[in-house]
Amino acid sequence: MKRKRLIVVLILMLLIVSWGCGKSDKREVGEVNLVFWHSFVASSRQALTTLLNEFETANPGIHIQAQYVPTGDALMQKLITAIQSKTAPDIAWIHPDFIDKLANNRSIYALRQFIDGPDGLPASDLADIYLPLIEAATWHDSLYALPMEATTLALICNRDLFKKAGLNPDTPPRTWEELKVYARQLTQDMDQDGKIDRYGFYVPVFPAGGPLNLWMIMQWAPFVWQAGGNLIDPESRMASFDQ
């Protein structure tokens, strides 16, 4: 493959500007309720609950009201609507692709003032965060969010199926030509009915209008990059993946 790149699926937490649009509720002096929009599904929600409980224990008087919102475009659309109607949450998580729009509209806070404040984040803690994740949360030299989770994508193989096809699972394909050869050898019509039962290579495809469409792009983009292409031409700024 011509180039190697690491793609990171990054989830960011950001603070929504509260020009009357946040829903912070100071019930009494020293007690604060913060609304937090997230997209943790049932299988991972307990982990979030544990983190929030630890935070509230360490910060008496601050309560986090966690509300689930579907991820992807659905979350962004709901967030924009909430900002316009002055009902936005205090904190939300988003993909880094949306930071520029929110920052340009002054809908989110630059975090440096909080990080450097009296109860801010120590420089050593900030330095512990993987630099590319900080860069992904930065727009025009201002940090607008902090990474909450990141996922590295990788090509995986089924060792048993490799062996059955006469392939060595310890030497997976490393070039486009090898990937093509391996995929064809692993593709089988197992019941001989003229229809393929198992494909040797698979990239997940999700509905373009659904909440997982961004995941589809993120899983597909590395193959475009490794083939020497780009999704967007850097000079013309036009789509180039179909050229």
**pLDDT reading at 21 higher than 50:** no
- What are 195-209's pLDDT values in tens digits? 999 999 988 777 665
Measuring CA to CA, which residue among 23, 25, 33, 91 is closest to residue 61?
A: 33
* Range ranked top by mean pLDDT from 52-56, 93-97, 223-227: 52-56
Domain spans, the chain = 8-152
Task: Kindly report the pTM of this predicted structure.
Answer: 0.68
- Long-range CB contacts for residues 71-75, cutoff 8 Å, separation at least 24: 71/39, 71/95, 71/211, 71/214, 72/210, 72/211, 72/212, 72/213, 72/214, 72/215, 73/209, 73/211, 73/213, 73/214, 74/211, 75/37, 75/39, 75/211
Burial class (CB in 10 A: 0-12, 13-18, 19+), 225: middle
At residue 186, the pLDDT reads 96
**H-helix segments, the chain:** 42-58, 73-84, 99-104, 112-115, 123-127, 131-136, 159-164, 176-186, 213-226
Mean per-residue pLDDT of the chain: 83
**pLDDT reading at 229 higher than 90:** no
- What are 150-186's pLDDT values in tens digits? 877 788 899 999 999 999 999 999 999 999 999 999 9
Inter-CA distances, 11 with 40, 102, 128, 145, 171, Å:
11, 15, 17, 10, 33
Q: Which CATH architecture fits 8-152?
A: 3-Layer(aba) Sandwich (3.40)
- What are 115-144's pLDDT values in tens digits? 998 888 898 999 999 998 999 899 999 999
